[in-house]
Structure 1
Amino acid sequence: MELAHATEVKPSAAPRLWTKDLILITVSNLFVYLNLQMITPALPAYVSQKFNVSSLMISFVISMFALSAIATRMYAGVAVSRMRRVPLVIAGLLIFLLSTMTYYGVGAIALIILIRIVYGVGFGIISTTYGTVVSEIIPKRRIGEGMGYFGLSTSLSMSIAPVIGLWLLNDYGFGTLIVVASILIAIVIPITFSIQMNRQEKTSHTVKKPMKIKFMDRDALLPCVLNILLSITYGGLITFITMLGKENDIPNVGWFFLFNALAVLLVRPISGKIYDSKGHGAVLPIGCFMVIIAMLFLSYTTSLPMLIVSALCYGVGYGALQPSLQAWAIQRAKPENRGVANGAFYNSIDFGIALGSMTLGIVALKTSYAMMFRLSSLFMVLFIVIYVIARRRQGQS
């Protein structure tokens, strides 16, 4: 009897997370976002200097990218579930590379707008494909942890790329910036051929129905709605924190993004493990609470130490929430709809940021930047209210 008891099957060890495919796709995602985040803050200065256009026109040039990416993901979300992924993402990378290369030397503002639209098409294809593929590469039991690590590539680029981009622009010119950004994408293209992307190949070949544009996967709707509310607060931050610094005489508000990025880098692996072991209920309420605290603290900030504390709180909250929401959206979606779910999730980020910039800008005009950040915390109050009501209606799914 003792021998029989000794031969009982033990729980299997945690599946391996860091495979070659996960490493390569994470590096590729880092390079793509470095390209994006290097060009985005430098482009307004370049366009203003070269074409001498109004701030409204500059806003229009920048926003065309987000609108194009959102529209593209409606198609890409379906395509990534039915087509071979390598040719699809290579097409996106080539579009992204060619549009990057043509930024420099364009002699008309209308052509810059056209390039931004094409640039958004390439990015929409790439981001949707990468998000879907990485969700299949990561073991299901470690999806929260894996998505957290994958998301670090985006966070790292957001913290260092603007600094690099503005440095290249100021010291070497826009042409050098474009060359460096183009090289990054040129490196990604050969890497792509080494990644096993067609995990759903058999399924995609058996589907004979005509391809239809699908904006949202119904199962992923709740995480995407919550992510819009989170992204609204981020849209207000990246647009108006400089103005808050001027309003309250806070020097070097750029420190906010550095300490925010450090907090994100530290919390994502931890929150991912908690998500995998205890579920979204153990992560989302705490993350939401930290963002609320950050917004309220920021609204009363009058010194650099207070700004840093606010940045750390926001980084902990944002770093825990976003990858958990993406993992939750993927888990709720059917396997054949993961491409649509990922596309919808990335669209929720762009839409939330744009909505936050516009709505919170109106609030700031009517009140003050401090009051605007105070009121932006109400979006996270709405976040927790929707989350609690949805959990009660749907159970623990």
Structure 2
Amino acid sequence: MQQKSALWNRNFLSISLSSFFIFMTFYILAVTLPIFVLDNLHGNNQEIGLVTTLFIIAGVIFRPLTGKWLDELNRRNIIFFSLVLYTICSLLYLFVHDFNMLLWLRIFQGVGFGIAATATSAIVIDMIPIDRKGEGIGYFSLFMSLAMVIGPALGLMVVSHFNFTVLFTLCSLLSVMSLICAMITTIPVRDKNTPTDRSWNWRRFIELKAIPISIAGSLLAFSYGAISTFISIYAKELGIEQMASYFFIVFAVMIVLSRPFTGKLFDRKGPHVLVYPGILLFAAGMIWLSQAHSVVVFLLAGGIIGLGYGALLPSFQTIAIQASPSHRRGLATSTYFVLFDTGYGLGSYVLGVVAARTSYHTMYLIGGVVVAFTALIYYRLHHRKEKLAQSQS
């Protein structure tokens, strides 16, 4: 029996933890800044969406640049600069007193986030053995998924029991931890024999082969933007405000329970066995959430969404990487997250407008329909092409 290549080591763990702390800060702010804007800055729903969207736009602009830089420049310097910027911005939230200042701060922190998130995702790929890509990326994305859930739950708990000064101090400490973890990581040296194109042609910023699955990922993120940005306000409207943090805990539990199996299943059976059930669960959970009027339905919907989202996120990212040449993995990663983040930012704003003009129930119903449409996009842009390629070989 062939022995598996080693996956877990100090460097894999430290870069995964760096990513975890980056996304902890991101998701803490994602669910608490809406409350900060409404209560402290006296804003409205559309302004809440704008706070998220400007952050994402800044990240989207710098993700493809980062993909190019990672393939050409010193990767340690890139990640150091981005995390220092990210940490400084986290500290500056302590001094925000008006909406315009908050918007500028979100733009600059979005730059740091876009570079740092792309860098950690691309660097870890070079650490994962070739025969364990699906499993390795699955575990790495588990750290992001845990942050996606622990962050909002922790942020909402801090806001409810303390104040925003404590919250922003916590975010600053988490950003410092992400910097420390990245700096103790031994980053793999790029193969000098790998071809490098230093031109400024647009193809140097985008990996075309990663685009089809990235479009599917952007639709997924579009709907998820409504969850991370508005779930705390939705819970308050339903009269179960204290349950918002538990929604994310249930969400997390389902991701954690499923992740050890999904990565291995991807490597053995391929993505389709995960993607279609994942889309079905995510869409059903969103539609059920739109009809929530009780704590039980609210929390069960979170669990169903978590199970679907936990299967889809690493699967889509792995497909994007496997579809691209090995020397363009940095670009494939950035291309995937450019479209993913674009969908997230648009979803936060567009669905926020929908909620402002109709209701949160309608907003989540539309989000569920968008997720269901992802199945068609996945089939036409990826699955069908794969079937045609196999039939011709």
- 2:127–2:188 Cα contact (<8 Å) kept: no
Task: Supply the distance in 1 between the matched residues of 2:88 and 2:348 (Cα, whole angstroms).
Answer: 29
Shift of 1:366: 6.5
Relative distance call for 1:336 and 1:43 in structure 2 (3 A) is same
Matched, 1:383 2:383: no
Deviation per residue, 1:87-141 (Å, 9 max, x gap): 1100111111122222222455433322221111111111011110111111121
Alignment map for 1:101-180 (pairs within 5 Å) = 101-106=91-96, 109-169=99-159, 171-180=161-170
Count of residue pairs brought into register by the alignment: 386
Matched, 1:25 2:10: no
Gaps of 5+ in 1: 1-10
Deviation per residue, 1:31-52 (Å, 9 max, x gap): 1222222334333444555554
Task: Supply the distance in 2 between the matched residues of 1:244 and 1:97 (Cα, whole angstroms).
Answer: 30
- 2:53–2:346 Cα contact (<8 Å) kept: no
Letter in 2 for 1:119: Q
Alignment map for 1:1-397 (pairs within 5 Å) = 11-47=1-37, 51-53=41-43, 56-106=46-96, 109-169=99-159, 171-203=161-193, 207=196, 209-211=198-200, 214-241=204-231, 245=235, 252-254=242-244, 255-361=246-352, 363-364=354-355, 368-390=359-381, 391-395=383-387
RMSD: 2.8
Task: Supply the distance in 1 between the matched residues of 2:301 and 2:54 (Cα, whole angstroms).
Answer: 31
Letter in 2 for 1:124: G
Letter in 2 for 1:147: I
Task: Supply the distance in 2 between the matched residues of 1:46 and 1:297 (Cα, whole angstroms).
Answer: 28
Task: Supply the distance in 2 between the matched residues of 1:284 and 1:159 (Cα, whole angstroms).
Answer: 21
Identity of aligned residues (%): 28
- 1:75–1:212 Cα contact (<8 Å) kept: no
Relative distance call for 1:163 and 1:318 in structure 2 (3 A) is closer
Task: Supply the distance in 1 between the matched residues of 2:332 and 2:306 (Cα, whole angstroms).
Answer: 25
Task: Supply the distance in 1 between the matched residues of 2:106 and 2:372 (Cα, whole angstroms).
Answer: 35
Which SS does the other structure have where 2:150 is aligned? helix
- 2:46–2:356 Cα contact (<8 Å) kept: no
Gaps of 5+ in 2: none
- 1:78–1:212 Cα contact (<8 Å) kept: no
Task: Supply the distance in 2 between the matched residues of 1:358 and 1:63 (Cα, whole angstroms).
Answer: 6
Shift of 1:327: 0.8
Relative distance call for 1:21 and 1:44 in structure 2 (3 A) is same
TM-score normalized with structure 2 length: 0.87
Letter in 1 for 2:188: N
> Greater shift after overlay, 19-28 or 152-161?
152-161
Shift of 1:192: 2.4
- 2:68–2:205 Cα contact (<8 Å) kept: no
- 1:65–1:117 Cα contact (<8 Å) kept: yes
Task: Supply the distance in 2 between the matched residues of 1:84 and 1:105 (Cα, whole angstroms).
Answer: 33
- 2:225–2:347 Cα contact (<8 Å) kept: yes
Deviation per residue, 1:371-390 (Å, 9 max, x gap): 44334333233222222233
> Greater shift after overlay, 337-346 or 23-32?
337-346
Shift of 1:271: 0.7
Relative distance call for 1:325 and 1:216 in structure 2 (3 A) is same
